[in-house]
Structure 1
Amino acid sequence: MKETYKRAAYLSSAAFILSLVFFVTLFIGSGISNYPVIRYLGWYGLSGSLIWLYLVILYYLKYLAEIEKLDYSMMAAESSSTIFQGSSERKAMFMVARNRLTVYEKWFTPGFSLLTAAMYIGFGLSTLKSSAGVLDEVQGKPLGPALLMVAVAFISFAFSRYATGTSATSASKALRGGGSNMLSFSLIAIVLAVMLALKFFQYDMPIRIGTRVVPYIMLLIGGEIVVSQIFDIYRPRFAGQYHMPAFDSRLLSTINEPGGILHTAAHTIDYQFGFKVSQTWFYKLLEKAILPLVLFMMLAMYLLSCFVVVNPGQQAVIEYFGSFERGKLAEPGLTLKLPWPIEKAYIYNTDRIQQIHVGYQEKDEGQDSNEISRKPLLWGEKHYEYEYRLLVSTDRVEDSDEGVVPVSIVIAAVPIQYRIKDLQAYVYNHNNPVGLLESICYRELVRYGANARVETEAFGDEVKTNSLLGAGRGEAARSLKKSIQKYSDEIGLGVEIVMVGLQGVHPPLEVAKEYEQVIGSIQKRQAIILDALAMENKIMTELGGGINQVNRLYEMAEEYQAKKSTADRQELEKMALELDEAFTSASGEIFKDLSQARSYAYDKSETARAEGERFASQILAFREAPRIYLQQLRLQTLEETLQDIRKYVVVSDDQDSEVMIVDLQESLAPSLYDIEVPE
């Protein structure tokens, strides 16, 4: 037993010195390689070195106590009594080392446990706080630090297995806590070695994750020690039972103790509550089958990395050892690949319309962009958290101040929507395609704004195709979309520009009212122009059936008048005939007036002809019988003029003296004279 305690003390001393050597080595290696996670691992090992320091003192005191016990046994064998003191007093006098061991186990064990937990928690919090700012630092070559991690992991693993194997005896059982701690140190070192090796193949994310995870592991171990120490106060104690210190981590024991994970859990329950879980049939069944089941589950989960499920509207890039040279693109569906990390798949939404914000930042990043876009874009309100101003040109006013630069400032809130059309070019041609596309959009918008204008509205020949606030806004959006797409294709960005929205371009809030007044005046002018155009269309349509037809008639008439003095007669007759045919084919008021004129001319000409023919006939009749013609003409005149007049004929002679009374009043009733008597 004495030699066992002596070997345990030597082992603990060597482990303690080795922990200090690891700490110094890792601290220097972190400074040279510029990888802070190596320094974090050094702090982890330094915290665990307190466990070995406790074990050095513990087994040294046990060694002294064992020597003291042997000396007392030899003295008791030589003389069974003494005249000076009793047996109990003599035993107490010779058991000084045993008393020291008792005091050490009772008071220093929880003290070292809490001190170890304080170091884990303290180093964990400090490294956790510092790790947030070192992830983006420039880091050195990872191959050298990876080899250092492998060497540290190998030495610490061999030492932890030796210490754990030695703890199988009851006398050296306390070494299990140190062995478990050093095994965890070894596992973290080998994982960091793998992460550094992956960084050598351009996989930066694992080492970044490791830099954040190591502080959490220290906090977890420190918190478990504190909880175990609190539980240790209330656990039942039995005489002769091994006292499990709080720094002997139950979590680390599940992977370190040779008896297996279930045995460790059962032993922990047995130790904590006094219930013999390890004697039940269910535990014995699990103890035999749990390892194959766990291994099968782990293998099945690993083999699941051979399958890639690509949803509709997506594409996947499958890389072979971090390179696409031997990789491939996966279309929607189920695709097979080599297991991780030989081949890795990255899925992208290629059919989904994505949007970048050019010239503005939304107030709430979590707010739905569609909800914001549905709100009315009023010039007098601020729509986004940040709205950038764009410098554009403007017309110089004649009465403007001399030296004033003819430029204006507008708020350019331009959403640009795009989708991925060439996934390989999008992923591998550029490091940050979204940021590059955003820079292209800003550049093209500024370039277009330098050549654009801020005319609000115009008509006819005044329309500006490069107007950001006017009638040319649609053409400006199409031009911007074309230029952004052209440059994106030139550099092989692999995106398709779907929409460039200029509806968010508006004047600054400070001059919004002035802009609205200008817009109001221009709209009034536009209303007058539109009324005039409507009246022109109405008159032209009523006049000739259409504007083009009237303009054609006007041009033909103007050409005919211009050539009257220069063209020959035959050409003029031809032009007159064409002009007459053109006017004849016209519709509207021209057709109406021409039709009335033709009718009037025909009526006049035919009436004149008929009058002439009648006059000629009358002359012939007069020549043949003048008296009869005159009498007949007189009677015809009387007949025509007296046709609708009541006539009374009175026949009398010149010599008659008889007075005739004629009653010209209309009788209301017939008289006797009016009665007709039939024959």
Structure 2
Amino acid sequence: GLVADAFGQAGLLEDLTFAIGIGELAIAAEVVLNFVLALYRPRRAGEVPRPAFDSRVLSLVAAPDSIVRSINEAVNYQFGFDITSSWGYQLLLRSTAWLLGLGTAVLVVMSCVVVVPPGQQAVRLRGGAIVGDVYEATVMLKWPWPVETAAVHDVARIRTLVLGPRPMKVGAVNTWGDEAARDQDRFPYMVAAPNVSEQVRREAGSSGTDDAAAQSVAERFALVDADVVMSYRIAPGGLLSWLDFASEARFRRAGADVRERLVRDIALRELTQHLATQPMDDVLSPRGDSLVRSLRERIQGALDRAGSGVEVVAVQVPALRPPAGEGAGMFEEISIDRQNARKLREEADRLVRASMAAMAGTPERAAEIVAAIEAYERAERSSGESAPETLEARARAETLIMQSRGAAAGLIAAARARRWAIVMGAAGDAAQVLGQAPSYRAAPELYKQFRTMQVLGRALAAARAKYVLGPGVAGRTDLDVTMKQAESGLNLSDYLERKQPASGGSNP
């Protein structure tokens, strides 16, 4: 035991205790077997049993030369003649000592050379303590065993740890809402309560629960079921820290050593603390890789502070869901309602952008115009409508609107065009009236009759039936009316030459 402890091989003591126990059981089994067989052998009266002297195993240990004789007899029996007396066998017996010495020397020399392959690192151990530097992808020379030993570690290998009791079992049909009774060993993680409105909190608080403490916890925390897998490796230049971090001893009935269990406990602690500070909405619906990235950075920082020499390669979340049970279906409704609300917000935003683009060209220009109008209104309230700063603010707002080339600018331009059309029409009417004033002053009655006839001509042009009304003109006035029908198209009779009759003659 002292020798094994001096060379840092404390595990040999455990193997030695197991070997002693197994040897005692084997000797006891032989004694029992000899006792059973002695019942069927003839015995002499007064003979006393001697288990220790009758044991074959103990006799071989007490007289090892009998083993050599037994081997010689077995060899002679196999060959059919006395081969142990030949010169070759005798030469082998005489050379056994130096052959064993040569083999021992070769083994000692081979134990002084250790080849470290690429992707692995090795250190020298003397009495369990690390001696020298770290060797990587090279040939390492050391003192022979058991003075020094070599510890080779695969630093490039990616190791995985499941941060939880065991991975979730998902069948061909994933009915996770009914899986509450299947795996009772899984425990959900605690997260912060989701962000809900005050109205929802009041409705939830008025549900009639009597447990104030439970209600307080329910308002602050929620539960999620997740599988988190961490992938890690020994960091570049971190082998010495990894070896000093913890022991390589393995507990009985445990598949991981102390280092791996300690890394898992640190990572699980950081995972639990981080999830307890995150709202359920951010955990179940993270933005991109924000959740796994924050977990990896937090776990890496904790392992660095512990001096583990570990590099966290990735943190994966293959399964993340609300806890299974009766309320599982409600989370689907929440997700659907959240998607519908997001859809409504996006449609409203699209409508606003389209309206602003139509009114002001672009949403950015619309924001500038609104800011300019608000500045004009503030200046008008503070300084008055005719103040210079108010007029300047109004001019700036109008300039921005006209430069936008949108519907508002078009409406203002149309209003200005209509105003100018009205003004110019009124100016034309005024000029026409002023131009007819000399005619009126020269002959007022004639001017009135002329204007009356013009009005009647325009009014009667589209009338089908016309009546002439006047006061008692019978006996005093003769009316000669020529009725003509308007002909459409070209009337050739108007262009034909007509013959005039000769004077004093008759028509032909």
> Which of 518, 526, 529 is matched with 2:341 structurally?
529
Aligned-pair CA distance for 1:417? 2.6
SS of residue in 2 equivalent to 1:386: coil
What is the CA–CA distance in structure 2 between the aligned matches of 1:665 and 1:428, rounded to whole Å? 118
Aligned ranges 1:585-596 → 2 under 5 Å? 585-586=403-404, 591-596=406-411
Aligned ranges 1:614-633 → 2 under 5 Å? 616=431, 619-620=434-435, 623=438
- Assess if the C-alpha contact under 8 Å between 1:315 and 1:348 holds in 2: yes
Aligned-pair CA distance for 1:250? 13
Q: Counterpart in 2 of 1:514?
A: 327
Say if 2:180 is the partner of 1:386: no
Structure 2: which amino acid aligns with 1:335? M
Alignment gaps of 5+ in structure 2: 34-53, 195-200, 248-257, 462-477, 498-508
TM-score, reference length from structure 2: 0.64
Say if 2:382 is the partner of 1:566: yes
What is the CA–CA distance in structure 1 between the aligned matches of 2:486 and 2:392, rounded to whole Å? 76
Paired-residue identity, %: 20
Say if 2:110 is the partner of 1:311: no
> Which of 303, 321, 332 is matched with 2:137 structurally?
332
Task: Flag the 1:527–1:499 CA change in 2: closer, same or farther, 3 A.
Answer: same
Task: Flag the 1:622–1:493 CA change in 2: closer, same or farther, 3 A.
Answer: same
Task: Flag the 1:223–1:586 CA change in 2: closer, same or farther, 3 A.
Answer: farther
SS of residue in 2 equivalent to 1:361: coil
What is the CA–CA distance in structure 1 between the aligned matches of 2:74 and 2:149, rounded to whole Å? 41
Q: Counterpart in 1 of 2:40?
A: none
SS of residue in 2 equivalent to 1:486: helix
Task: Flag the 1:264–1:576 CA change in 2: closer, same or farther, 3 A.
Answer: farther
Q: Counterpart in 1 of 2:302?
A: 487
Which structure would you say has the larger RCO, counting Cα contacts within 8 Å and 6 or more residues apart? 2
What is the CA–CA distance in structure 2 between the aligned matches of 1:295 and 1:528, rounded to whole Å? 85
> Which of 412, 415, 423 is matched with 1:608 structurally?
423
SS of residue in 2 equivalent to 1:565: helix
Aligned-pair CA distance for 1:605? 0.8
TM-score, reference length from structure 1: 0.50
What is the CA–CA distance in structure 2 between the aligned matches of 1:426 and 1:291, rounded to whole Å? 45
What is the CA–CA distance in structure 2 between the aligned matches of 1:199 and 1:527, rounded to whole Å? 67
Aligned-pair CA distance for 1:662? 7.6
> Which of 129, 133, 140 is matched with 1:323 structurally?
129
Say if 2:232 is the partner of 1:418: yes
Aligned-pair CA distance for 1:434? 2.1
Q: Counterpart in 1 of 2:370?
A: 554
Say if 2:413 is the partner of 1:598: yes
SS of residue in 1 equivalent to 2:122: strand
Q: Counterpart in 1 of 2:314?
A: 499
SS of residue in 2 equivalent to 1:493: coil
> Which of 269, 292, 299 is matched with 1:443 structurally?
269
SS of residue in 2 equivalent to 1:329: strand
- Assess if the C-alpha contact under 8 Å between 1:391 and 1:450 holds in 2: yes
Say if 2:175 is the partner of 1:360: no
What is the CA–CA distance in structure 1 between the aligned matches of 2:188 and 2:420, rounded to whole Å? 79
Task: Flag the 1:674–1:567 CA change in 2: closer, same or farther, 3 A.
Answer: closer
What is the CA–CA distance in structure 1 between the aligned matches of 2:288 and 2:485, rounded to whole Å? 99
What is the CA–CA distance in structure 2 between the aligned matches of 1:576 and 1:660, rounded to whole Å? 67
- Assess if the C-alpha contact under 8 Å between 1:356 and 1:416 holds in 2: yes
Aligned-pair CA distance for 1:492? 1.3
SS of residue in 1 equivalent to 2:383: coil
Task: Flag the 1:377–1:441 CA change in 2: closer, same or farther, 3 A.
Answer: farther
Cα deviation digits, residues 40-87 of structure 1 (max 9, x gap)? xxxxxxxxxxxxxxxxxxxxxxxxxxxxxxxxxxxxxxxxxxxxxxxx
Structure 2: which amino acid aligns with 1:483? R
SS of residue in 2 equivalent to 1:350: coil
- Assess if the C-alpha contact under 8 Å between 2:177 and 2:328 holds in 1: no
SS of residue in 1 equivalent to 2:381: coil
Equivalent residues, number: 423
Structure 2: which amino acid aligns with 1:563? A
Alignment gaps of 5+ in structure 1: 1-141, 144-196, 227-244, 364-370, 458-466, 643-653
Please report the RMSD computed on the Cα atoms of aligned residues, expressed in angstroms. Answer: 5.3
Aligned ranges 1:259-408 → 2 under 5 Å? 267-271=73-77, 274-278=80-84, 295-324=101-130, 326-362=131-167, 378=176, 380-381=178-179, 386-392=185-191, 394=193, 397-400=204-207, 401-402=209-210, 403-405=212-214, 406-407=216-217, 408=222
Structure 2: which amino acid aligns with 1:523? S
What is the CA–CA distance in structure 2 between the aligned matches of 1:289 and 1:638, rounded to whole Å? 155
Aligned-pair CA distance for 1:272? 5.4
SS of residue in 1 equivalent to 2:337: helix
What is the CA–CA distance in structure 2 between the aligned matches of 1:452 and 1:419, rounded to whole Å? 28
Aligned-pair CA distance for 1:424? 0.9
Cα deviation digits, residues 381-406 of structure 1 (max 9, x gap)? 37878323444554763214232423
Aligned-pair CA distance for 1:675? 12
